[in-house]
Amino acid sequence: MEEEGRYYVVRRKAVPDVLLRVVETKRLLRANRGMSVSEATGQTGISRSSFYKYKEDIFPFGDTVSGQKITLSIEILDEPGLLADLLGAVARFHANIITIHQSIPLNGMATVSLSLEVRQETEDLTGLVEQMEGMRGVREVTILSRE
C-alpha cells in the first residue's frame, strides 16, 4: 500500500513529538561532534531505539542539499509588484529559479508555481516559505514537491 521513497510535507503541529525529538537529537549530534547517541537521546528524552528507528526518515524542510529541487504553489492577490516581491525573496535566500508560471488572475487572485534549485549558498528554505507567507497579498504557500 505504501510506496518506499514517497515524501510528504507536513506542518510541525501535525508531527508526533517523538519525531520532533529525533530531529532535535540529530541537531545535537551535529553541533556536538563528541556527543554520543546515548547522551543526545538522554537530553531529548527519547530512547536510542526510537532515534535509530526514525533517524533516516525525518528531517526539517530547511535541511537542503545543493542540487535539490523544490516546487511551491503560491496564491496571490492580483496586485502590481507582488510577483516581483516574491522573486526578490527567492533572490535574497540565494535559490535559483528553474521555472515560473503564473495563472491568469480570476476574481482578483492568481496562482504562481515556482520550481527552485537549492544552491550551495542557499539559506534555510523554511525561512523563505515563512517570509512569503507573511507578505502582503500572499494568501497561501504550498510546498508541492521536494526532490
C-alpha cell at 134: 507573511
Q: Decide if pLDDT at 137 tops 50.
A: yes
Please state at what angle helix 125-133 crosses helix 82-92, rounded to 10 degrees. 160
Q: Decide if pLDDT at 135 tops 80.
A: yes
SS3 24: helix
The CATH homologous superfamily of the domain defined by 69-146: ACT domain (3.30.70.260)
Tell me the range of 64-73, 121-130, 132-141 where mean pLDDT is highest.
132-141
Q: Decide if pLDDT at 113 tops 50.
A: yes
- C-alpha 93/C-alpha 21 separation (Å) is 27
Domain spans of the chain, in order of start: 12-54, 69-146
Q: Between the CA of residue 90 and those of 19, 50, 68, 107, 133, what are the distances in Å?
A: 29, 36, 15, 26, 13
Q: Decide if pLDDT at 18 tops 90.
A: yes
Instruction: Tell if the pTM clears 0.85, that is, is over it.
Output: no
Amino acid in position 68: Q
